[in-house]
Amino acid sequence: MLNCIACLALVAGVPGSQLAPANTTPQARAHGPEAPDDQFPSHVFELEARAPKRVQLGFNFGLSQPILTHGFNAAVEVRYRRLVLTYSHGQGLDYTPFESDAERNAGAKLALPWTTGGGVGIVLIDELWLLADLKVHHFEVDTGVDHASYSTVTLGGELGWRFFVWKGFNLAFVARYWPNVYSTSGSGVIIHDAKGKPFVDPPAQQGYSGLLANILVGWAFDL
């Protein structure tokens, strides 16, 4: 009986980490067991790239488009291991908040009826990814006396990080640099200012001089 009491006292004094099963890996000790799919939160940051071993499909919707430009943008992405492939399409965007001073002085309205394209990239660490994007954007400029339309092509990069809130539901924070590399308007279109004087309106940039950011709401699942 005294021996049993002594054994219990020894066990009670041993830290829990020293009682881990012999087959527990150092990684499991550091991060704990994986949370079940229905447990909140489901995202635990790690330095290793999250690389799904099965094809993962995701659908995303941008928040800046309906808030800032009164349109919408939807995207689909495919991930396999560290490879990321994306395609997105935007529709009915009012780009007046991003127009130039000359366009504003001329009373112009700048619209982006559609924008489309895709990208390819790689997951760096955790859910942090880097993409190269190729996009086509169609613009329309309207004043009281002018109407012009043209398309631009951008080739740039995107850096983003995805946070899983619950199961496949996630939020992604992205920063993009999409400079123009081509425009069907050449150096620009000719429109008239408020005094009726014509001037060359250069091709519109994405966001602010090619820089823009967005928050994506999405759902991802393994196929």
User: Along the 223 residues of the chain, how does pLDDT read in single tens digits?
Assistant: 444 444 434 434 444 444 444 444 444 333 333 334 443 445 677 788 888 899 999 999 999 999 999 999 999 999 999 999 999 999 999 999 999 888 888 889 999 999 999 999 999 999 999 999 999 999 999 988 899 999 999 999 999 999 999 889 999 999 999 999 999 999 999 998 878 889 999 999 999 999 999 999 999 999 9
Q: In the chain, what are the helix, strand and coil shares in percent, each to the nearest 5?
A: 15, 50, 30
Q: Tell me how far apart the 2 most distant CA atoms of the chain are, in Å.
A: 105
H helices, E strands: number in the chain: 4, 11
Task: Please report the domains of the chain, with CATH numbers, ordered by start residue.
Answer: 55-222 (2.40.160.20)
Q: Could you tell me the pTM of the whole model?
A: 0.78
